């Protein structure tokens, strides 16, 4: 009984490694055959017993003789493994403006997320100065952004514009983009916006990586936890990460609260936290900082 059972276990192990089969079911005839073999074990060894019938999710495979060597393990795709990010996008063009235009054309023609494609009005690629030293990164377009085709134009976007102006800059001097270029779809009539899924981010983020490679900003600001996750993965909460420079492919990355958070939490204490993050960015960029700027939101 030992030899045929060893062969059966080897075959089951082979199916598990090749096809991901975790459990097999023997036919009635196979179970009867094994019981018969068990009764004959003391009498004499069986050189070529019938192979048990194994049922799996694939067509029946050819029987494996007990005397055959153990099968060689083959690489398999683990169905439980996380979805892998899309490959890098090729960058073409002789100038930054041309390279970004080619990337935008490809993004506008993208059909990979069919559920987003069917509901979007515009692909929101990005806006700003291709030579920008500072780049702001959000998570995904909202309703207003989807309608206008430009990132951060709704209420949160208007607040971001004021934050940029408080730094002594304009929107035209920086670059603004998102992890996901299409608005995450919502049920018809449902208010608000939703966070993009992990798969949506992994599918779309190569466009942002290509934008970063073209622009080569000196410093980046990640607006909210989703922007950080899209770039670096799930590294922590925004409350624990903000105020400290991280790094994305050699570029300093400052995580801070999303402007929409400040719309919900308008205390000077929370505003000051974001402003301190932006002051650190200004210092890294070697921008002049006035005494007035240093004192923003310190008074109750």
Residue 185 pLDDT greater than 60, yes or no: yes
**Which pLDDT score, from 0 to 100, does residue 152 have?**
97
- Report domain extents, the chain: 1-79, 96-294
Rama region for 158: left / alpha / beta (φ>0; ψ in -120 to 50; rest): alpha
**Which pLDDT score, from 0 to 100, does residue 71 have?**
37
Distance between CA 292 and CA 113 in Å, rounded?
47
Distance between CA 250 and CA 287 in Å, rounded?
21
The model's pTM? 0.71
Residue 10 pLDDT greater than 60, yes or no: no
In angstroms, what is the C-alpha Rg of the chain?
Answer: 29
**Which pLDDT score, from 0 to 100, does residue 190 have?**
85
Mean pLDDT score across all residues of the chain: 82
Q: Which residue has the higher pLDDT, 116 or 8?
A: 116
Q: Which of 58-72, 131-145, 185-199 has the highest mean pLDDT?
A: 131-145
Q: What CATH number is given for 96-294 in this structure?
A: 3.40.470.10
**Which pLDDT score, from 0 to 100, does residue 20 have?**
52
Q: Once rounded to an integer, what is the mean pLDDT over residues 169-191? A: 94
Distance between CA 200 and CA 112 in Å, rounded?
9
Residue 81 pLDDT greater than 90, yes or no: no
């Amino acid at each position: 009984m030992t030899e045929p059972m060893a062969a059966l276990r080897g075959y089951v192990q082979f199916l598990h490694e090749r096809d991901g089969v975790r459990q097999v079911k023997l036919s009635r005839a196979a179970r009867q055959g094994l019981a018969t073999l068990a009764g004959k074990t003391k009498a004499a060894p069986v050189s070529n017993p019938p192979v048990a019938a194994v049922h799996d999710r694939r067509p029946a495979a050819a029987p494996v003789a007990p005397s055959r060597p153990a099968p060689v393990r083959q690489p398999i795709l683990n169905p439980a493994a996380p979805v892998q990010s899309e490959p890098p996008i090729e960058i073409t063009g002789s100038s930054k403006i041309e390279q970004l235009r080619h990337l935008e054309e490809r993004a506008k023609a993208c059909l990979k997320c069919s559920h987003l494609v069917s509901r979007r009005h515009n692909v929101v690629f990005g806006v700003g100065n291709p030579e920008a030293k500072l780049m702001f990164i959000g998570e995904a377009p909202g309703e207003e952004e989807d309608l206008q085709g430009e990132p951060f134009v709704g209420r949160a976007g208007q607040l971001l514009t004021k934050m940029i102006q408080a730094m002594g800059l304009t929107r035209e001097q920086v670059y603004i983009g998102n992890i996901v270029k299409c608005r995450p779809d919502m049920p018809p009539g449902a208010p608000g916006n939703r966070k993009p899924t992990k798969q949506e981010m992994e599918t779309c983020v190569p466009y942002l990586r290509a934008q970063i490679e073209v622009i080569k900003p000196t410093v980046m600001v990640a607006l909210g936890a989703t922007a950080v996750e899209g770039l670096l993965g799930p590294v922590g909460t925004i409350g624990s990460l903000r105020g400290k420079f991280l790094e994305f492919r050699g570029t300093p990355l400052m995580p801070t609260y999303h402007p929409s958070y400040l719309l919900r939490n308008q205390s000077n204490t929370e505003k000051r936290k974001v402003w301190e993050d932006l002051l650190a960015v200004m210092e890294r960029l070697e921008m002049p900082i006035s005494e007035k700027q240093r004192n923003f939101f310190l008074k109750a």
